[in-house]
Amino acid sequence: MRGLILGLAAGLVASGAWADIYISSDGKGGFVLSNVHRPGRQYERVISEAPSSGGPVNAQLVTGRPYADLVAAAALANDVPQALLHALIKAESGYNPKARSPKGAAGLMQLMPGTAKEMGVKDVLDPQANVQGGARYLKRMLTLFDNDITLAVAAYNAGPEAVLSRGKVVPPFAETRRYVPNVLRDYRLLRGLAEDSPL
């Protein structure tokens, strides 16, 4: 019976239905397949999500966050990881769409006035416009730094010139040195990766 269930799970994967799939006993001699953990059951992972999918291992962590639909749409439109957008938003504004910094950054992704204008954002406090603009800017940073997530995150915080002028390393600013590990930690969490996993 277990072999039959595993065969069905493999069939789902072959059809393109990628997700982590777990198997557990139902206590009556049968088996239960699930892509979520239910309280009181022991699970064994039998299929892992496709590593090239770019999505988080635990999608519930992403879909359960505020503005999940806006972030998913911005990630898709700009070809950036939605888990990374969420990590940036959490670090930048704590999901407060009206957040403002003393330096003039505003909104969910704390866009500076010049960056907002450059990214075509007219109302920086509009969550959808702000996230789209922030995603466009993040894509620019990822492109500029050859998809090096660490450097792109550093550039998002300190500006690309601060990274480029130091030979493409994280600048030695105290704020940036705190910011980058915090964003990467949250990004790994949302992806279901260990804290020291390569990005």
Question: For residue 139, what is the domain's CATH number?
Answer: 1.10.530.10
Q: How high does pLDDT run on average in the chain?
A: 82
Same domain (yes/no): 90, 167: yes
Look at 4-18, 55-69, 168-182 and tell me which has the smallest mean pLDDT. Answer: 4-18
pLDDT in tens, 114-162: 999 999 999 999 999 999 999 999 999 999 999 999 999 999 999 999 9
Structure-token match 């866009």, residue found: 111
For residues 22 and 43, is the Cβ–Cβ distance under 8 A?
yes
CA–CA gap between residue 14 and residue 5 (Å, rounded)? 14
Q: For residues 25 and 91, state if they share a domain.
A: no
In a domain, 18, yes or no: yes
Catalytic positions, written as ranges: 92
Is residue 31 very low, low, confident or very high in pLDDT (cuts 50, 70, 90)? Answer: low
Are 45 and 132 part of one and the same domain?
no
- Which of 12-16, 21-25, 45-49 is the least confident region? 12-16
156 with 119, same domain?
yes
Instruction: List, for residues 54-92, the tens digit of each pLDDT value.
Output: 444 456 778 889 999 999 999 999 999 999 999 999 999
Instruction: Give the SS3 label for residue 45.
Output: strand
Residue 93 confidence (pLDDT) above 70? yes
37 and 65 inside one domain:
no
Residues above pLDDT 90, as percent of the chain? 63
Pair of tokens at residue 175: 């704020």
- Cβ-based neighbour number of residue 54 at 10 Å: 13
User: Does the residue 196 lie in any domain?
Assistant: no
**Spatial CA neighbour of 145 closest among 165, 168, 119, 161:** 168
Whether 143 is covered by a domain: the verdict is yes
R_g over Cα of the chain: 20
Domain that holds residue 132: 59-191
| Residues 38 and 83 grouped into a single domain | no
- Asked if residue 162 and residue 127 are part of one domain, the reply reads yes
Task: Tell me the whole-structure pTM to 2 decimals.
Answer: 0.71
Q: Do 36 and 64 lie in a common domain?
A: no
pLDDT for the residue numbered 135 = 98
Say what the pLDDT of residue 53 is.
38
